[in-house]
Structure 1
Amino acid sequence: MTGRRTAASRARRYEDFDQVQVFDALGSETSSFSVGDAMEHLLVDEAGRLWVGHFDENPAGIRRWSATGLPTWTSDDANIPGLLDCYALNVTGAAAWACPYTDFPLVGIRPDRTDRPVRVWENRVRGARAVAVHGGRVAFYGGYGEEQDRLVHGELTETSVEQTDVGLLTLTEGSFAGRRRVVGRGSRIYVQAEPSTAWGVFDLSS
């Protein structure tokens, strides 16, 4: 990685400033721009493009931006069912994977492909906050209420995710995460529990 990016999730709190700032390896700002309000996820792909998933106060859904702030893909015409809130977003290589509210399908997004740039798999797992994908396998982490520590394994068929196992994800010492941050990257789900000093990693490929 040659630099870093920072962003504010709510645009209206920073009306006089650009929301996203891009820095080079020496810490100098190279560009800044706004990507809209209600940003839930911001991840960078291998080409340096920014993927943004919005929560329900912004109907933009999922968008991809260049490192200089040009929009390069939007979910507006992608026919993703029930996309009101991007609950989970995973970016790996040049692709993105999402699990959006309200229908919670698994969505694979490869905008640079001419053949099926967006694929949608029906999914019965509700409320997952992170997703990991490896080959034809997938894992969903999180859920509503007592299912916040749930880890669901599944396999991809042509049209749906078929569940193969359900368990609970715990920290190294065996406790549950409680309040946490989660990030999906390829086959991995990163979990940072309070006091937010370290990350734990679940790897679907291991």
Structure 2
Amino acid sequence: MELACAGIPGLFDCYALNVSGTTAWACPYTDFPFVEIRPDRHVRVWSNQVRGAKAVAVHGERVAFCGGYGEELDRLAHGELTETSVEPTDVGLLTLPDCRLPGPRRAVGRGSRIYVQAEPFTAWGVFDLSS
């Protein structure tokens, strides 16, 4: 299935991307649907209320979104995949092991993990959705 035919509204940019094995997961701007793309060109789209996430983790039917706009910069939002949507289950704050907020950071999703590198960008921390 072509992406243009998959019902992905307003695909202009990809804010969060996760590649796990041969499957890619994405949250494209502007409507931020949650999208699964498989190598056989099969595409699934779920509506999603989480806006502006910079990284996403996937484990079975569970997802976690890291980041957002403004006051949601440190958000860690959890959800469950239903047939048509990502249903929110919990929202927390992304913190460093010493309980501080990370400040400027890089965040990358791979499989069930979100890797976070905060200033001074010398070490990576890991959030694992499968734990």
| 1:200 and 2:128 correspond | no
Matches within 5 A, 1:147-162: 147-162=72-87
TM-score, normalised on structure 1?
0.61
| 1:98 and 2:31 correspond | no
Aligned-pair distance for 1:132? 0.4
Q: Which has the higher contact order (CA 8 A, sep 6+)?
A: 2
Task: Give 3-state SS (helix, strand or coil) of 1:146's partner.
Answer: helix
Aligned-pair distance for 1:77? 4.8
| 1:84 and 2:17 correspond | no
| 1:186 and 2:106 correspond | no
Aligned-pair distance for 1:159? 0.3
Is the 8 Å Cα contact of residues 111 and 118 (structure 1) preserved in structure 2?
no
TM-score, normalised on structure 2?
0.95
| 1:140 and 2:62 correspond | no
Distance 1:168 1:82 in 2: 28
| 1:119 and 2:47 correspond | no
Cα deviation, 1:85-109, whole Å, max 9, x if unaligned, reads 1000000000000001100000000
The alignment's C-alpha RMSD in Å is 1.5
Matched AA of 1:100: P
Aligned-pair distance for 1:80? 1.8
Where does the alignment leave 5 or more consecutive residues of structure 1 unmatched? 1-73
**Aligned equivalent of 1:110:** 38
Matched AA of 1:180: R
Count of aligned pairs: 131
**Aligned equivalent of 2:102:** 177
Give the greater-gyration-radius structure (CA): 1
Distance 2:3 2:19 in 1: 15
Is the 8 Å Cα contact of residues 3 and 43 (structure 2) preserved in structure 1?
no
Task: Give 3-state SS (helix, strand or coil) of 2:68's partner.
Answer: coil
Matches within 5 A, 1:49-88: 75-88=3-16
Aligned-pair distance for 1:201? 0.2
Aligned-pair distance for 1:81? 1.4
Aligned-pair distance for 1:111? 2.6
Distance 1:182 1:95 in 2: 19
Where does the alignment leave 5 or more consecutive residues of structure 2 unmatched? none
Task: Give 3-state SS (helix, strand or coil) of 2:8's partner.
Answer: coil
Counting aligned pairs with the same residue, the percent is: 78
